Amino acid sequence: MKILKGVFDFYLDASIHVAFAVLALMRVTTLSLNIPPDLHLSWFLFFGTIICYNFVKYGVEAKKYVLVANRYHKNIQFFSFISAAFMLYHAYFLSHEVWIAIAVLALVSGLYTLPVLPRSKNLRSWGGFKIFIVALVWTGATVLLPVLSQDYELSWNVQIVSLQRFIFVLVLLIPFEIRDLQYDDPELKTLPQRFGVSNTKVFGFFLVLLFFFITFFKDEISVTDLVSKGVLFLVLCSLLKATKRNQAAYFSSFWVEAIPVGWYLILLVVGLF
């Protein structure tokens, strides 16, 4: 049992779980827009997510990322280097347009993490902007990149899917914001710090409503899309209702991050009927 828990914790701590969430959202995009998935892009972002998230969690300072003393973190570092090799292999097959978009997203991610701004440590330290920046990057990675990889036009439906994805990620970030309330620096001015837990959850419920009803603005609405969004509406509302400051160990790190995978599975199941 102890071994299984160790493997499970490594799965979470090494950002493999969040990488599957990104991969699932990319597949949600291809299914929603009826475009073929780019396997090289999929695996590029899967392994790239592992590297980026591990860097943010364990190596904001380059010295810490290279000179690791803790054995457990060394294993994560080694796994990140292996992931980098796979990422570089798949990167070779990406198109020029995709690379331009990746460069922009990488720049935003870098500004979010690294201390390059004159009066702020990074974009992450900008009061209240943290979750919006993360949602923007996730939207670009899981919607814009799959669209560009297939030379698909940036149609009205793509814009609707992008807006919904942005809102969806914002909702998923709220439990993390509430969980980290006791650890975050007051200077971050996160939503719970500014408006309190209850008001932040009310904002989340409003976002869930917006997420669902925006579906009706699409040019074409499939039964599969409508049913999956209806199920997600219930899941996200239940998630926000269950969110509290003192969370169970794996509430956010596993269950919240598993929702994108659940969305993908719902689409697959509903699509069979």
Over the chain (273 residues), the average pLDDT of each successive run of 10 is: 88 96 96 93 96 79 55 87 96 94 87 55 59 92 94 90 97 92 74 89 96 92 91 96 89 94 93 70
Q: Which pLDDT score is estimated for 182?
A: 78
Largest CA distance in the chain: 56
Determine contact, residues 267/228, Cβ cutoff 8 Å: yes
Q: Which pLDDT score is estimated for 193?
A: 86
Nearby residues of 262 by Cβ (< 8 Å), 6 or more positions away: 235
Q: Which pLDDT score is estimated for 114?
A: 58
Q: Which pLDDT score is estimated for 62?
A: 45
Q: Which pLDDT score is estimated for 57?
A: 79
Q: Which pLDDT score is estimated for 219?
A: 87
Nearest Cα neighbor of 117 from 132, 107, 131 is: 107
> Which domains can be identified in the chain, with CATH numbers?
2-271 (1.10.600)
Determine contact, residues 22/45, Cβ cutoff 8 Å: yes
The C-alpha atoms of residue 75 and residue 176 are separated, in whole angstroms, by: 25
Please report how the helices 223-242 and 257-271 are oriented relative to each other, as an axis angle in degrees rounded to 10.
Answer: 150
Nearby residues of 86 by Cβ (< 8 Å), 6 or more positions away: 43, 47
The CA-based dihedral angle spanning residues 167, 169, 172, 174, taken in that order and rounded to the nearest 10 degrees:
-70
R_g of the chain computed on alpha carbons: 19
Which pTM value belongs to this model? 0.90
The C-alpha atoms of residue 190 and residue 146 are separated, in whole angstroms, by: 31
Q: Which pLDDT score is estimated for 56?
A: 80
Nearby residues of 232 by Cβ (< 8 Å), 6 or more positions away: 168, 211, 212, 259, 263, 266
Q: Which pLDDT score is estimated for 222?
A: 87
Q: Which pLDDT score is estimated for 61?
A: 47
